Structure 1
Amino acid sequence: MDKPNVIIIMTDDQGYGDLSCMGATDFRTPNIDGLAENGIRFSSMYSASPVCSPSRAALLTGRYPGNAGVRAILAGHRRASGLNDSVPTIATALKKLGYTTGIMGKWHLGLKEDCRPNSNGFDEFRGFLAGCLDYYSHIFYYGMADGGKNPIHDLWENDKEVWENGKYLTEKITEDSVDFIQRHRSEPFFLYVAYNAPHYPMHCPQKYLDRFPDLPEDRRIMAAMISAVDDGVGSIRTELERHGLLENTIIYFQSDNGPSRESRNWLDGTEDFYYGGTTGKFRGHKFSLFEGGIRIPAILSQYGKTEAKVEDKPFIATDIFPTILDACGGNPEEYKLDGISLLPLLKNEKAPEHGYIFWEMEEQTACRNGKYKLLINPRAAEEEKPVADVFLADLENDPSETTNLVEILPDICEEMKNKALEWRAGIENTWEENFAKNYSLTR
């Protein structure tokens, strides 16, 4: 049997409710919905972090962010540290199995030479290294802060800077992805398609905006940007079909974290609060460990082989590395992973049980076990004070996390709090021993 190709598609700051297959009723995403109609749609998939760099590091390494060496949003200057090349990625593992590997789009895991994609298992890289760009000029936004004294252009082919001024970034990522598939159609490949949309700045060609003339302006731009991504997913599927590769390709789709409440639409860094994304029924946004910051839209599909279903058990993005490696004939036991393999789901078998799942973000720590979730110092949004010292939720009966059960279930609270603190202490030790001295924070 031929080794399956693997494609991971990641969106940026897309909320749980920002797909029609996840409940959106004001716009449609037919191509992404098509993945769900031919695969597993997760109702309780989590990112490993409520912000982008740690979330991406965890997905690619199968480790919690602190164990991967990336715990916060990374800097975007050209000396910025990030994902150390001593930490294996999915790309590293698949290269050992004979795969050609490529990333098209957003990296945001460091700009130093040993932190770039080509040093972390990727044969090919077309995209940008920092956190967010102007969608047309490809100027790094935070490089234009401080009165515009430090503009940084950020578009690359491997280690070569390239200029495509005026090219809409979402469409470029799609075109580069289709080109990669076309060129490597005769060999097993791993392709990581990392869209920047719908992360701010809220830029979109008029042709996409025209699809949604009746939506409020903030929601209209969000829908248009996601629609451009959805078209891209359709183009990728069409290219796979054209070469007879669709049924031998595992496709995984997810957002990196929950929707943002902020928008910087101007190169001077002016910030506007923005509410175009939706978390559905969940509390919190990006930066928060409440469900809205970490529960994400996610789909795992292999056309013609994976039966359509909705999986309600909780899983986390660290599970994708071992799942893919398992499916491609590798051995997850060779790697130091925090995730578990979901291969039984791809085989249409019963989903495995995960056990405890953990998160951290600055002073916040959280864990989930079964239907219960405990949070320490949780914030509903960035720059807000914690809503409680400790918060215990029953997600089965209160998915919006409105009622704190600390006083009602003290034994469960104490057990989960101790688990969370023990895990966090281990993360801090790993961090100090292996990563802290070489790390630079902030955007």
Structure 2
Amino acid sequence: MKLTGSIHNSFVIATTAFLFLACKETKKEVAADKEIVKEEIVKQKPNIIYILADDLGYGDLSSYGQVNFKTPHIDKLAENGIKFTQHYTGSAVCAPSRSSLMTGLHTGHTPIRGNRELKGQEGQEPIPASSITIAEVLKDAGYTNGAFGKWGLGYIGSTGDPINQGFDEFYGYNCQRQAHRYYPTHLWQNDEKVLLKGNDYTNTVTYAPDLIQKETLRFLEDNKDKPFFAYVPLVLPHAELMAPKDSIFKKYDGKFKEVPHTTKERYTSDYGPDINPTEYSSQDKPYAMYASMVDRLDVYVGQIVAKVKELSIEDNTIIMFASDNGPHKEGGANPAYFNSGGGLRGEKRDLYEGGIRTPFIVVWPNKIKAGTTTNMVSAFWDILPTVADITETTIPAEVDGVSLVPTLLNKGEQKQHDYLYWEFNIQKGRKAVRKGDYKGVWYKMNADKPGNFELYNLKNDEAETTNIADKYPKIVLEMKQLMKDSHTESKLFPFK
């Protein structure tokens, strides 16, 4: 039957409308499918947990040679992943080391190059708004970012506030001076001051690291269904030497021949009405307490690993562990007693190996071969380009680091550092350079009578016992030139 004109026109209009709507719905469905695919790609990106101990020495883990106490949970990370034997911190003290970690720049370029205190502020010199941090790079890649522990890179509300540097959440000590006390009156949750129950600098009821750990585990649970970056800068085992005298402490009580640390010592004041909150408390059993604090840190790491397994995200989660600098001797700690430096020369504040070489362990199930050890020479400023490489994210600025992904995955060609550089402007200025097996160290550079340049061959003399500068004048000249070329001027941290 042939359609009349009016019926034909109606049929055509209806058919056209149907096809239009069908096409429109198809486009919507395609767009929706694209979003689903995009979400799935984002979900596939690995979670990243970076755990940073505070003042833990190279030899303070049993997997790195410690025999006086055990760190089974961290040792298990080494068994399940890759252990670095020549990894270096950003600096020999807290703030510049963390600045180097966050920005991917060594101390000749990173904005914070020392522990610079600010009068009237609860917090240190802030990293500027122009700095590009790991958190900002990962945020661009779709990550939710949290920081839990000690920050030290800018007071609340400053450009260096972690919330202004790419983190969605922060809980802990904003100021590293406040972190000298484990029973502080308060911590910070983003920009909110959180008062700690029972703590008034006389009474010690609430142990801050336990609260910080609780918030860390909560963050993992809250973000288990999307890619997250958890930066966990633990305060342990930094002085003061203080922890609950629970079952962990009892394991070590009476085990060591103690040398009590009293208020007669410099920079020491006890809890009470006359306390100086930024100093350290006395400690009758400092060795047992130090061992228990490292043990407690290890327990925290074990809890994080257990939580990741409980949430069934283990196969898609990278866990990294390191320390911010070498071992300290404040508050009664004795690095020599425990061989905390692992036989390396120096400690916190030194640019010798003991002050800047750190344990570094990375676990990534089904990606990193378990039980691997590498002597790849690497440093804190490699972490940013490494996570950018892992997440296929562009770094919007130049960095000093290289991606460690080829070493982690044992795949592809690993770019090597031409050299590593450190500067630290204390006691008339200190600099160090490592190039290949050679390490140059120069102390008192700005003194009227500068100190002698020291050169060591780390392959033959890892403990830096024999200065061979006189035998290799050309290498010394090259090292001195690298020290000069690697430094950019800083008004806040002038090297003179």
TM-score category of the 2 structures, normalised to the smaller one: 0.7 to 0.9
Of 232, 238, 257, 1:199 maps to 238
- For structure 2, the residue ranges without an aligned partner over 5 or more in a row are 1-40, 200-204, 259-285
- Structure 1 residues 204, 387: closer, same or farther in 2, change over 3 A? farther
Aligned to 1:176: 215
Counterparts of 1:136-175 in structure 2, within 5 Å, are 136-138=182-184, 153-164=185-196, 165=199, 166-175=205-214
Distance 1:385 1:101 in 2: 47
Query: Could you say what secondary structure the match of 1:155 adopts?
Result: strand
* Aligned residue identity for 1:341: S
- 1:378 Cα deviation from its structure 2 partner: 6.5
Q: Would you say the 8 A contact 1:378–1:391 is kept in 2? A: no
AA in 1 matched with 2:194:
V
Q: Offset of 1:216 from its aligned partner? A: 3.7
AA matched with 1:13: D
Could you tell me which residue of structure 1 aligns to residue 8 of structure 2?
Answer: none
Deviation at 1:175, TM superposition (A): 1.2
Cα 1:188–1:27 change in 2 (3 A) is: same
On the 8 A contact 2:241/2:333 being kept in 1, the answer is no
* Cα deviation digits, residues 254-287 of structure 1 (max 9, x gap): 1000011222xxxxxxxx5744661111111111
Task: Please show how residues 50-69 of structure 1 align to structure 2 within 5 Å.
Answer: 50-69=92-111
Would the aligned equivalents of 2:287 and 2:333 in 1 still touch at CA under 8 Å? no
1:109-120 mapped onto 2 (5 Å cutoff): 109-111=153-155, 113=157, 114-120=159-165
Asked if 2 retains the 8 angstrom alpha-carbon contact of 1:375 and 1:392, the reply is yes
Q: Which residue of 2 aligns with 1:366?
A: 432
Q: Any residues of structure 2 matched to 1:339-418 within 5 Å, and which?
A: 339-349=401-411, 351-362=414-425, 363-377=429-443, 388-418=451-481
- Quote the Cα distance in structure 2 between the aligned partners of 1:222 and 1:386: 39
Which amino acid letter does the alignment assign opposite residue 319 of structure 1? D
Conservation of the 8 A alpha-carbon contact between 2:123 and 2:174:
no
Match runs of 1:148-297 below 5 Å: 153-164=185-196, 165=199, 166-207=205-246, 208-213=248-253, 214-217=255-258, 218-263=286-331, 274-275=334-335, 278-297=340-359
Rg comparison, structure with higher value? 2
Deviation by residue 1:49-69 (Cα, 9 ceiling, x = unmatched): 000000001111111234221
**Aligned-pair CA distance for 1:354:** 1.6
Alpha carbons of structure 1 residues 219 and 56: separation in structure 2 relative to 1, 3 Å: same
Letter in 2 for 1:137: Y
1:319 matched to 2:382: yes
Task: Give the alignment's Cα RMSD to 1 decimal.
Answer: 2.2
Distance 1:220 1:273 in 2: 10
Q: How does 1:92-111 map to 2 (within 5 A)?
A: 92-111=136-155
Distance across 2 between alignment mates of 1:219 and 1:249: 35
> Quick one: structure 1 residues 361 and 80, their matched pair in 2 at CA, closer, same or farther if it must change by over 3 Å?
closer
1:386-442 C-alpha deviation (Å, 9 max, x unpaired): 994200000010011111111111111111221112212xx22xx24xxx3xx79xx
Identify the residue that residue 81 of structure 1 maps to in structure 2: 125
Asked if the contact 2:123/2:153 (under 8 Å) is kept, the reply is no
Change in 2 beyond 3 A, CA 1:37/1:322: same
Task: Report what 1:9 is aligned to.
Answer: 51
Report the residue type matching 1:287 in the other structure. Answer: R
Q: Which amino acid aligns with 2:122?
A: R
What is the CA–CA distance in structure 2 between the aligned matches of 1:44 and 1:300, rounded to whole Å? Answer: 14
Partner secondary structure for residue 470 of structure 2: coil
Determine the structure 2 residue equivalent to 1:144. Answer: none
User: Which deviations, in whole Å up to 9, do the C-alpha atoms of 1:68-119 show, x marking residues without a partner?
Assistant: 2101013263374321121011101111111100001100112152221101
Task: Measure the CA separation in 2 of the matches of 1:225 and 1:250.
Answer: 25
Q: Percentage identity across aligned positions?
A: 36
Structure 2: which amino acid aligns with 1:310? T
Q: CA deviation at 1:169?
A: 2.4
Amino acid at match of 2:436: G
- TM-score, normalised to structure 2's length? 0.77
Report if aligned partners of 1:323, 1:340 keep a CA contact under 8 Å in 2. Answer: yes
**Structure 1 unaligned residues grouped into runs of 5+:** 139-152, 264-271
User: What's 2:169 paired with?
Assistant: 124
Helix, strand or coil for the counterpart of 1:68? coil
Cα distance change of structure 1 residues 331 and 170 upon mapping to structure 2, 3 Å threshold: same
SS state of the match for residue 228, structure 1?
helix
209-218 vs 367-376, greater mean Cα deviation: 209-218
The aligned length equals: 404
- 1:302 is aligned to 2:401: no
Greater Cα offset, 6-15 or 404-413:
404-413
Match of 2:10 in 1: none
Distance 2:441 2:397 in 1: 29
Pair 378,283 (structure 1): closer, same or farther in 2 beyond 3 Å? farther
Seen in structure 2, the aligned counterparts of structure 1 residues 110 and 419 have a Cα distance that, compared at 3 Å, is same
